[in-house]
Structure 1
Amino acid sequence: MRHFLIASLLAPLTSFAPAMGQDTVGTSPWGPDDELGRLNLMTDESRAAILGRIAGGRAYDLSVEYFIGMPGWHAAGDPRYQIWMTHTPRGTVVDDPMGVGEAQNGHVSYTGSAISMYTHTGTHIDALNHFGVDGRIWNGFSADEYLGDRGWQVTGAETIPPIVARGVMIDVAAALGVDRLEDGYRITRADLQQALERQGTPLREGDVVLIRTGRMQDYETAARYMHNPPGLGMDAARFLVEEGGAMIVGADNLSLEAFPSEVPGNYVPLHTYLLARHGVPIMELVNLEGLARDGVHEFAFIGGSLKLRGADAAPMRPVALPVE
């Protein structure tokens, strides 16, 4: 799997010409100190508007489970998810870590555990410092000035506020009449437009836009889930941001974009375009199967990520509440 992913990233690039300014970082219209990017589009009024439309009933959990052997990005050598027991009922009796004696340890069954993982594991949100261009990230912050041994001093995952916004799920697989998009399929602007028209869900500025490829159906089998996944093309990403007004863009695959890159000299052009150029956070491994099954395309999106100071991503457990 590692060899496949690396080969995909390093495969010959196409002749697609990048848009002018695409490979430069964006300057925030919200000022030189802005660390939030398009999350500034979320206001008290926008939150109240979507919360006022909640229909009640079912809540959809958009997150995945964490388990040993789960899919993850390891091509660059990042750690896999691990869990281990720090305390077990029998081990506590033997070790007596609290010094309370065998009788109490036998009566009080103590279980504890610890985990380790890459911050981009499972359902997560990318902070704006995750990818940059020429040593700078969103709003011109430079790694030389703002990145220390304890993480970024700006745009870290701790700066991401609780997200309450209108959510739109674009079911590309359903619009194309397939259960899941084929391996390596590159989603186009026309695909998105077709799906939105079929669903009757226009995009609005400040939306959380989530793309369904159907790949989440393979989540329990890491090798299958990670094998040459479908993803967004550059023109599709431009449509979502520059015409659709998306605040956050996410999908049910791991890396959002399709490989190999369309842009010469940049192996992850969607990431630099969204994060560094436009200040758009990215969500990955979003479980959209429940929404797809029930035909829910518009909803209140509510999610909070872990406040990992200085980090470039954080796990997230978002929910979708259908609206009237």
Structure 2
Amino acid sequence: MRVSTVAAAAVLVLSPVPGQAHGPGEHHQVRDHQAEHHPAAQQMAQARPAQQQQQQQGANWHPSRYGANDTIGAMNLLTPQKVLEAARLVQRGQVYRLGVPVGRETPAYPPRNAAVTILMPDQHGGAIVPSENKVSYVDDMFTGWLGVGSQLDGFGHLGIDNVFYNGNRAEDFVRTTGVTKLGIENVPPMVTRGVLVDMARARNKPMLEEGEVITAEDLQAAMRDQGVQLRQGDVILIHTGWVEMLERDPARFGKGEPGIDAGAAEWLAGQGVVAVGADTWGVEAVPFKNPNRVWEGHQILLAKNGVHILEVMDTRGLARDRATEFLFVLGQPLLKGAVQAMINPIAIR
């Protein structure tokens, strides 16, 4: 990706964002807790066809279909019934780690970086903690951005003209000390059915190329061939093979990527998914087809539809085993006032 493209995109992506939460004593179980706030939300979403949902992606994209005060978007669709349905997919007890290790050398969207510094406080020169049993301990200090490596994008991460999910304006909730609404700590646990779409297999090659676009029609065709369908409340992960570049050529990995276009983002939002993920750092195709229109897919998913984005998912194991559906489990760090979080989701078959 050209430096000019990165700079242009940075204007949109690197603004701070959200944080509104349930009280500290509330249980973040996957339950019908949003129905407690919006009793008709789930029924309305289930009854509304995809085309009608997509109409909300035009000029009038807020208030949210889940209510004017909603802060969790499509996560309203996660119910105990959905969890039970997903749990029945576990037949082998096979577990896949979807996160990638993060270190000082991990490529990230400029100017992001991350570092761990190891300390032995007050134990210089071989000293120990004053004690008869000679205690020694090591601590670590993290310095960096939360949008490095495998990550969850919250709704406060990216908006449209300083307006974020459900009409929340940056001036009202974005603070340097943490967002006061749409914070990552308010995202409920994500326990649901996961679907893998192997676009590398669909195109009969080990890896898609930089800027290679995946359309809604491409996703539909690949799912037909791979015998899997999306259902309301699912998480979809797209395998492009690009994650291989993270180890083989980190510089190339961070400069561009294959990914979806705006039309695919609209279609996915219309299917009622709760999150869209990929084995790339931005889910969308980069370089952008139109360099003057950047991160439209993020705007459609996050701001307009309340659908989370999962980046740098290690889908290699699932693709290797041709796993098309699985139990997906994510409990992100509850970093108060953050708009992103480093994550390590788990897929179980």
What TM-score do the two structures reach when normalised by structure 2? Answer: 0.80
Identity %: 32
Decide whether the 8 Å contact of 1:25 with 1:132 is kept in 2: no
Is 1:253 the counterpart of 2:280 in the alignment?
yes
The CA deviation string for residues 86-144 of structure 1, in whole angstroms up to 9 with x for no partner, is 118xx82527474x17x86xx54422221222111111110011111122111111112
Gaps of 5+ in 1: 11-18
* Alignment-mate amino acid for residue 48 of structure 1: L
Offset at residue 24 of structure 1 (A): 5.9
Structure-2 separation of matches of 1:178 and 1:7? 31
RMSD: 2.5
Q: What SS does the aligned partner of 1:50 have?
A: helix
* Residue matched to 1:3: 3
Structure-2 separation of matches of 1:191 and 1:199? 12
* Residue matched to 2:216: 189
* Residue matched to 1:72: 108
Structure-2 separation of matches of 1:8 and 1:200? 39
Structure-2 separation of matches of 1:287 and 1:307? 22
Alignment of 1:49-60 (within 5 A): 49-60=85-96
Decide whether the 8 Å contact of 1:205 with 1:245 is kept in 2: yes
* Alignment-mate amino acid for residue 272 of structure 1: Q
Structure-2 separation of matches of 1:166 and 1:21? 25
Is 1:203 the counterpart of 2:230 in the alignment?
yes
Structure-2 separation of matches of 1:305 and 1:181? 29
Alignment of 1:14-53 (within 5 A): 21-22=57-58, 25-53=61-89
The CA deviation string for residues 15-53 of structure 1, in whole angstroms up to 9 with x for no partner, is xxxx99546643212222110000111011111221133
* Alignment-mate amino acid for residue 62 of structure 1: L
Structure-2 separation of matches of 1:4 and 1:297? 38
Structure-2 separation of matches of 1:228 and 1:135? 26
Which of 119, 123, 126 is residue 92 of structure 1 equivalent to?
Answer: 123
Structure-1 separation of matches of 2:334 and 2:135? 33
Is 1:146 the counterpart of 2:173 in the alignment?
yes
Offset at residue 147 of structure 1 (A): 2.0
Which of 224, 227, 237 is residue 255 of structure 2 equivalent to?
Answer: 227
Cα 1:151–1:283 change in 2 (3 A) is same
* Residue matched to 2:159: 132
Structure-2 separation of matches of 1:211 and 1:127? 19
* Residue matched to 1:240: 268
Structure-1 separation of matches of 2:263 and 2:67? 28
Decide whether the 8 Å contact of 2:57 with 2:300 is kept in 1: no
What TM-score do the two structures reach when normalised by structure 1? Answer: 0.86
* Residue matched to 1:114: 141
Gaps of 5+ in 2: 11-54
* Residue matched to 1:288: 315
* Alignment-mate amino acid for residue 270 of structure 1: G
* Equivalent residues, number: 304
Q: What SS does the aligned partner of 1:275 have?
A: helix
* Residue matched to 1:310: 337
Structure-2 separation of matches of 1:8 and 1:143? 19
Offset at residue 239 of structure 1 (A): 2.0
Q: What SS does the aligned partner of 1:215 have?
A: coil
Decide whether the 8 Å contact of 1:171 with 1:212 is kept in 2: yes
